Structure 1
Amino acid sequence: MEERIIDIISKSLGGQPTTSDEKKALEEWLSDGGNKRFYQGMQHFSSEAKESLKAREANVDRAFEKHLGKMKENRKTLRLKTFRKVLPYAASILLMAGLFSVMMYLGHEDPGISQEEQWLTAIEPGSNKAELVLADGKVLDLDAKRRKNEIQEKDGTRISNTGSSLVYDASSKMSEKLSYNSLVVPRGGEFQLELEDGTKVWINSETRLRYPTKFPKGERVVLLEGEAYFEVSKDQNRPFIVKTQGVDVRVLGTQFNISSYAEDETIQTTLVEGSVAVMDSKNPKTNLLLDPGYQAVYAKAAKQLENKKVNVDLYTSWKDGKFVFEQASLYDIMNKVSRWYDVKVFYQNNEAGDLNFTGTLKRYENLDRLLGMIEKTNEVKFFFKDNTIIVQKQY
């Protein structure tokens, strides 16, 4: 039966005629919901391959640039020529790959679940994991699954590792020489940190924070690439400064969130309580003083700061284990999904990314729950292949 279904699907997707018996067999197989969803996905990929043959120049250039990104001109030209040479075989190769997936699917223990659903269910949410780079350059894996321990550096710094956070011991007898550590959180990870002055930091996925093991008498300065939530310990004599690639955020004692990813067009500083001063790193005269419930948005290209009233939960809920979206673009939503679940995202039509959605979901829910909620709007459809979420707008 399995071999016959594979043969019928091959004919159907390839546009070949089928007999009445074959049509009936296919209809019976498609009566199962999982089979039907899988077949629809195969139809979609097959039609995309055929379309690519009709518009090879435009589609190849666009897909090539989208997938490979910015490359040196000579490498780009060489690969583009190679890509064009194999294009005439794209449809048949894609169909063969699809039929191989059908065979794998048919041989699975649970035929009631489509391969796409199996793939999606297997994707786990992020977890507590990070790497600690010590002052001497040694790198320690802080995966929560590993044994909890105490770390001691050569300068006398003592650090407690709980498996989900690091705590620096303020009573450590350290050298007067300033030394730095870096906490690096990968995609699909998060971690917490308590600095020696008592300041607490929640660090999001794909983020690096560099800080001294003990702050000097003048200022408390840390360097951030990515996203972190700060609960700064009050010290009137030592302002706390977060430096990013664009803005400096200066505080005495407060709670705020900074999102400063290199690929994003803006840097967002959201104030929860207290007050902060946000200034252009290269032009301190361009600055804003924020009140609670407001956000400073720094446009990197224009080098401009904007102050706006916001719902702070939309920008800080991640540290409390939630995704909260309010008329957020699908681009923004999927950027967060990509970092937290460590998956890639590809848009088959640009219009899909401009759609807006509102909702709340626990951060540790399975990915299929989140995408299923979005699909219920009937505005967008998700397909899954090679650890990539393929997004298609429904017309």
Structure 2
Amino acid sequence: MKKKHLDDDLTNLDKQNLRSRIIDSANQVKAKKRKNRILMVAASVVILVGISLFYQPKSEQAIESFVKTSTDIDVNKVDGVTLILGSGDNLNLDGENTTVKYSKSGEEVVLGSGKTVNQKSTKNEKALYNTILVPFGKRTDLKLSDGSMVWLNSGSKLVYPAVFNGNSREVYLEGEAIFEVSHNPQKPFKVLSANQEVEVLGTVFNVSSYKDDDLSFTVLKSGSVKINYSDKAVKGIKIKPGTFASYNAVSKEAKTKEVNINDYFSWRDGFLNFKKDNLKHIMTKLSRYYNVQIVIESEDLAAQTFSGNLDLKENVTKVIQLIGETSNFEFSSDNEKITIINSN
């Protein structure tokens, strides 16, 4: 007897329906396998992300946070130029030569006397911060690990990493300094202070931001800098060489003007240039430079303006005497204070 095939009893419609069910079933199986594979991959990604987050080194502590937590580091509490290493060790730089130079790794520090000090530049993959304090009456200069040069004026503090191992180079300034920044477009150089942030790639400029001054300013000698202010209501600016950019913390105003840049860089060479500056402003600078208290008894006299060039290699009484020759004031001095009075 001839065997009967299933196909013999199926109509064309039955065959078509059966074929559709077989295809749908196969597709469902494939979809389920694909979904399981996706879930497995997703789980693997989650695990990997969790592992990377767990083992990823913590980001470097912001330099502003370090400054805020180091309130005991006060420039007015040291007798001479003082370098504080990341370990907390204090190094006093005695003598005329107080220069500080860092190696590229930041682990070797050469002091002005020629002495070399070794330190760790990082801890747990985070850069360690160094601080240099320059009290009133002193000045110094240092070469950072990236080759940038900094000249610090009297009454200034600079906080900086021993080595710049991140995507930017950031230092924090309290006081006044001249910067000659080593060019590196891949690592912008930023000078942070209480009221402003100055960002550069490679240039020469002067920044002044003293605690007891209402006015913070930046003077650009060469290159280009961008200034952002902590007051977000004041728009950031980009200045060109020969420009004086200031911010007044009281009036909340930012201004720019063209100036003779030598007036703001001459202190590095031991001179003070001033043009139509009031006597109070001039005496404030001299007080910091020579570390002596100077009192002007008359407000009218304090508001008088003067122009000239002073050789700061002379002693302070000689310098004040030279200013007095162009005006009508006299002064008396003792070991701790100089008092300026009208001669009339």
Instruction: Give the aligned partner of residue 89 of structure 2.
Output: 138
SS at match of 1:351: helix
Deviations 1:176-195, CA, capped at 9 Å, x for gaps: 42100000000100010100
SS at match of 2:289: helix
CA contact (8 A) 1:249 1:277 kept: yes
SS at match of 2:110: strand
Deviations 1:348-391, CA, capped at 9 Å, x for gaps: 21111111111212221122321121121242111113521101
Instruction: Give the aligned partner of residue 25 of structure 1.
Output: none
Instruction: Give the aligned partner of residue 112 of structure 2.
Output: 162
Closer, same or farther: CA 147–232 of 1 in aligned 2, 3 Å:
closer
**2:189 corresponds to 1:240:** yes
Cα distance in structure 2, aligned partners of 1:221 and 1:151: 16
Tell me by how many angstroms 1:205 deviates. 0.5
Instruction: Give the aligned partner of residue 313 of structure 1.
Output: 262
Cα distance in structure 2, aligned partners of 1:266 and 1:317: 19
Matches within 5 A, 1:41-190: 129-144=80-95, 157-163=107-113, 176-190=125-139
Closer, same or farther: CA 284–131 of 1 in aligned 2, 3 Å:
farther
Compare CA radii of gyration and give the structure with the larger one.
Answer: 2
Instruction: Give the aligned partner of residue 177 of structure 2.
Output: 228
Q: Which moved more, 1:381-390 or 1:276-285?
A: 276-285
Cα distance in structure 1, aligned partners of 2:270 and 2:308: 14
Tell me by how many angstroms 1:151 deviates. 9.3
Q: Which moved more, 1:322-331 or 1:206-215?
A: 322-331
Amino acid at match of 2:228: M
Amino acid at match of 1:139: N
Cα distance in structure 2, aligned partners of 1:345 and 1:290: 35
Cα distance in structure 2, aligned partners of 1:202 and 1:237: 24
Tell me by how many angstroms 1:168 deviates. 9.9
Instruction: Give the aligned partner of residue 331 of structure 1.
Output: 280
Amino acid at match of 2:112: T
CA contact (8 A) 1:224 1:260 kept: yes
Closer, same or farther: CA 289–391 of 1 in aligned 2, 3 Å:
same
Deviations 1:260-287, CA, capped at 9 Å, x for gaps: 0111111010000001011112428621
Cα distance in structure 1, aligned partners of 2:327 and 2:232: 47
Post-superposition, which runs of at least 4 consecutive aligned residues in structure 1 deviate over 3 A?
A: 145-152, 165-169, 172-176
SS at match of 2:323: helix
Structure 2, unpaired ranges of 5+: 1-78
Matches within 5 A, 1:364-383: 364-383=313-332
Tell me by how many angstroms 1:216 deviates. 2.0
Cα distance in structure 2, aligned partners of 1:394 and 1:161: 47
Tell me by how many angstroms 1:304 deviates. 2.2
Tell me by how many angstroms 1:167 deviates. 9.6
Tell me by how many angstroms 1:129 deviates. 4.8
Equivalenced residue count is: 263
Structure 1, unpaired ranges of 5+: 1-127
Match among 329, 341, 351 for residue 300 of structure 2: 351
Cα distance in structure 1, aligned partners of 2:199 and 2:117: 22
| Percent of aligned pairs sharing the same letter | 33
Cα distance in structure 2, aligned partners of 1:184 and 1:150: 15
Cα distance in structure 1, aligned partners of 2:134 and 2:173: 12
Cα distance in structure 2, aligned partners of 1:336 and 1:147: 21
Q: CA RMSD in A?
A: 2.9
- Larger % of helix: which? 1
Cα distance in structure 2, aligned partners of 1:222 and 1:166: 25
Cα distance in structure 1, aligned partners of 2:233 and 2:162: 27
Closer, same or farther: CA 147–254 of 1 in aligned 2, 3 Å:
closer
CA contact (8 A) 1:132 1:141 kept: yes
Cα distance in structure 2, aligned partners of 1:248 and 1:166: 34
